[in-house]
Structure 1
Amino acid sequence: MVGMAALDRARAEPRPGRPAVGSVGVLRLVLDRARTVDEAVALLGGHYVDFGGGPGLHYLVADANGASAVVEFLDGKLRVTPRPSGDHWQAMENFPLAAVAEQARSDHDRYRAVASRLTGVDGRLSADDAFALLAEVAQPHTQWSAVYRPGERDLLLTTGGQVHRLPLGSP
């Protein structure tokens, strides 16, 4: 699974000899070719992610084994922030996770709200509770919210107040 969030500071250096892919097109690449977080990180690191034609983004990748990581391109370099050991959840917001110490992340209101709630329930929320939390921290311009359920092999996506279930296919 791969999600994205806007990150104005995202910038990757052109990498001679490595194929270029757009900042949104890289999502398709990861979904088509990676089965694990390690494979997704290797794919992202093996390409030049071009943010010139679209928004600066960072990515949260997760796999069916429960691994996850936030992948960012800061100062032209790939930065990976794995899920902290012992946590059953990982979140990202519109600030560079790799550039902010874990203790200082709670300075960001939206991140603090998500972290507090997920820590309190050991990362386990029903889909309805997850959508309620996402609605609580949504910004006025939020277009969609997504709840990934690797155990059920599906994605729940809400747009315009409607929830859509998208099956993720066979393992």
Structure 2
Amino acid sequence: MCTRVMWPDADGSVIVGRNMDYHRDLGTNLWKLPRGISRDDGVKGELTWTAKYGSLVATAFDMISVDGINEAGLSGHILWLAESTYEPRDESRPALSQAVWLQYFLDNHATVAEAVAWIEDNDAQVVQLTDPSSGEVPAIHLALDDATGDSAIIEYLDGKAQIHHGRGYQVMTNSPTFDKQLELVEQWQGLGGDKPLPGSTLATDRFARALYYVGRLTQPKTQVDAIAAMFSVIRNTAQPFREPDPGKPDASQTIWQVVADLTSKRYVFESTTRPNIVWVDLGDLDFSEGSPSLKLDLLSKLALEGGVAGNVSDKFEADGDLNFLTLSLVNALKAGPKPGPKPGPKAGAEA
């Protein structure tokens, strides 16, 4: 479920693309989040911060940042990794809920190197949250990339962050873990081996195709050429709408995809169910402290006849703050409503 691809040398620009593959709609909207917002870890509120950078994020259910870019050119992408294990809460370590994991880095860091240093210095935990709409417990990993072409893949195994940091880590999909993906990809033609390039929707096959094709892109002449080239790669790794395979009722399909120019800071979004392409130029947005959080309601605008297309930087609207899912809210929803007082006997009834 999901593929992320980075092209770090697109004629002086860094271009990144990702597919969001899931078995149901995530209610995704785009949010403009300004500098100066105060946030906490979503766990116990012990880790707090004030956003140093403004960001543009794609959300799930308006509660979780799953993709985005900040005004410094740092970008991040949440993908599924079934092997993720987070371990019980260790009170001696700082923690971030899954809902704000990506947002913390977009708020606080300008580069991948800064973000990696923070992880290594603080030994922070990631805390799982139950999806209140489905009861699913996400198992996720995170890719970070920046305008210098740097990249990092962060996976939590046995409760500890496993970090693969370097410009050469251009592709991330899903299972198995990233170290095993790097071993398996060498069996294919053009990537070190002699087997024909695979064509299935398996994460290992998507990894191979993405790495193969991004390495064969020709240098673009314009930004439009660069964005189109990246779309051609991630569409090649997209998952079609289909009947689930036997024993796999949650087989995923690509529900939307994003291409971002981290150098010029353009963010391009395409829904596969409401297929209009829209884009946002971060330079057209006001990220100043005190400016409001704004939402581009993709659910309504792209569902309308004709929808919206093209540059939508001026179509964001106020809709309150983006309220991230927290552990306390998840626990409250699990517990259900508290029982109220029992009604007393009706007038005239026997006590």
Shared fold (TM-score, shorter chain, > 0.5): yes
Structure 2 counterpart of 1:3, from 74, 77, 95: 77
With over 3 angstroms needed to count, the CA separation of the structure-2 counterparts of 1:134 and 1:66, relative to structure 1, is same
Equivalent in the alignment of 2:229: 129
With over 3 angstroms needed to count, the CA separation of the structure-2 counterparts of 1:97 and 1:148, relative to structure 1, is farther
Q: How far does residue 123 in structure 1 lie from its aligned partner after superposition?
A: 8.7
Q: For 1:1-171, what aligned pairs fall within 5 Å after superposition?
A: 1-13=75-87, 14-45=89-120, 46=122, 47-53=124-130, 54-83=137-166, 87=168, 90-100=170-180, 102-105=182-185, 108-121=204-217, 126-140=226-240, 141-159=253-271, 160-168=274-282
- Which of 1 and 2 has higher RCO (CA within 8 Å, sep 6+)? 2
Question: Using the alignment, how far apart are the partners of 1:2 and 1:80 within structure 2?
Answer: 14
Could you tell me whether the CA contact under 8 Å between 1:158 and 1:164 is conserved in 2?
A: yes
> 159-168 or 73-82: which moved more?
159-168
Q: Please give the TM-score of this superposition, normalised by the length of structure 2.
A: 0.43
With over 3 angstroms needed to count, the CA separation of the structure-2 counterparts of 1:71 and 1:123, relative to structure 1, is farther
Could you tell me whether the CA contact under 8 Å between 2:209 and 2:237 is conserved in 1?
A: yes
Could you tell me whether the CA contact under 8 Å between 1:26 and 1:44 is conserved in 2?
A: no
Q: How far does residue 97 in structure 1 lie from its aligned partner after superposition?
A: 4.3
Query: Percent of aligned pairs with the same residue?
Result: 25
SS of the residue corresponding to residue 144 of structure 1 reads strand
Structure holding more helix per residue = 1
RMSD of aligned C-alpha atoms?
A: 2.6
Question: Using the alignment, how far apart are the partners of 2:92 and 2:102 within structure 1?
Answer: 21
1:49 maps to amino acid: V
SS of the residue corresponding to residue 139 of structure 1 reads coil
* Stretches of structure 2 lacking an aligned partner (at least 5 in a row): 1-74, 131-136, 188-203, 241-252, 288-351
Q: How far does residue 101 in structure 1 lie from its aligned partner after superposition?
A: 5.5
1:71 maps to amino acid: I
SS of the residue corresponding to residue 70 of structure 1 reads strand
Q: How far does residue 122 in structure 1 lie from its aligned partner after superposition?
A: 7.4
Q: Runs (4+) of structure 1 moved beyond 3 Å?
A: 42-46, 96-99, 122-125, 167-170
Q: Please give the TM-score of this superposition, normalised by the length of structure 1.
A: 0.82
Residue-pair matches, total: 167
